[in-house]
Amino acid sequence: MAGALVTSNDAGLSIPDWPRSFGSFSVPPLHGGVQYEWSHRAIAGSIILLTISLSTWTFFGDGRRWMKWLAAAALGTVITQAILGGLTVLLLQPPWVSSAHAGVAQTFFCIAVSIAVFTGRRWVEEQPRADFDQRRPALFTLTLLSIFVLYVQLILGAMFRHHGMSWWPHVINAAVVAVVLVWTAIRAITSYLEVEAVRRPAIGMLGLMVAQLCLGFLAFVTRVMWGRDAAQPELPMVIATVSHVAVGALLLATTVVLAIQVWRHVPVAFEERAPGRDQKTVAA
């Protein structure tokens, strides 16, 4: 949200240097776009410190090896995110760097949410329900497809916000996202209604998708239609755009949680076939 406030208020180069601010590490006078840019940097620094603490705690306090790799991935992505943020300033906001900055931010957020799921009491204590999925495409495949189209939508939206492309690819892909997510949610809800760990994120994903489409429409109206000739960003556009980015992050994270729970509770059923043996051989 802090990053979206920087972009929406055209404050990306309010502080022209990095990692210092106007040649110093002290807090600069917070006025105009500087308040958004410096606050964004301060929040980013806090996140890095929290992630270092989280990674250290996981390495020494969690016996699961894959959790240690996940914690390392969180630390790696947040450091990459900080470097990309610095390059955005030093290279004067090239669209591809700014869009990568947004994409890595969402990846870090999803990793952090996954760590929260994997360390939660319910994950540790509950017994997973193995309800094998024999339908094609499998529900897990649909959740992965949902994550993919959401990432594409994220990059297209970031490229549009950072003036790297027009708005129409983002709008067209929004229809693709809606179809895939509705398909995934309906399959999950109708087929596994009794599995709470699957049902709840599926319903949440569907509700967030509807909210995201509405906010996307408001962002389009306030940015493209009403604010095209505005001398500076207007408040309705800022509110609609920041809300659109925030709900988009929640939607992606919820879809990741759904994929995790489907992987755990609804594993894909694979037919077991003995190579080179037909039915007559089995009967004999």
Q: Which residue segments constitute the domains of the chain, with CATH numbers given? A: 1-126 (no CATH), 129-270 (1.20.1440)
Residue type, 209: M
- The pLDDT tens digits for 213-236 are 999 999 999 988 887 778 788 999
pLDDT at 270: 55
Q: Is 120 left (phi over 0), alpha (psi -120 to 50) or beta?
A: beta
Q: How many CB atoms lie within 10 A of CB 93?
A: 16
Question: What is d(CA 149, CA 214) in angstroms, rounded to the nearest whole number?
Answer: 18
> What's the pTM?
0.91
Question: What is d(CA 97, CA 244) in angstroms, rounded to the nearest whole number?
Answer: 21
Q: If pLDDT is split at 50, 70 and 90, which confidence band does 269 have?
A: low
Q: Which residues, 6+ apart, have CB-to-CB distance to 176 below 8 Å?
A: 149
Q: What is the mean pLDDT of residues 140-150?
A: 98
Q: Closest Cα partner for 175 from 156, 201, 198, 200?
A: 156
- Of the chain, the percentage scoring pLDDT greater than 70 comes to 94
Q: What is the mean pLDDT of residues 101-108?
A: 96
Average pLDDT, the chain: 92
Identify whether the C-beta of residue 46 lies closer than 8 Å to the C-beta of residue 39: no
- The pLDDT tens digits for 158-171 are 999 999 999 999 99
pLDDT at 58 over 50: yes
- Residue 268 bridge partners (DSSP): 133
CA 34 to chain CA centroid, Å, is 26
Q: What is the mean pLDDT of residues 9-13?
A: 93
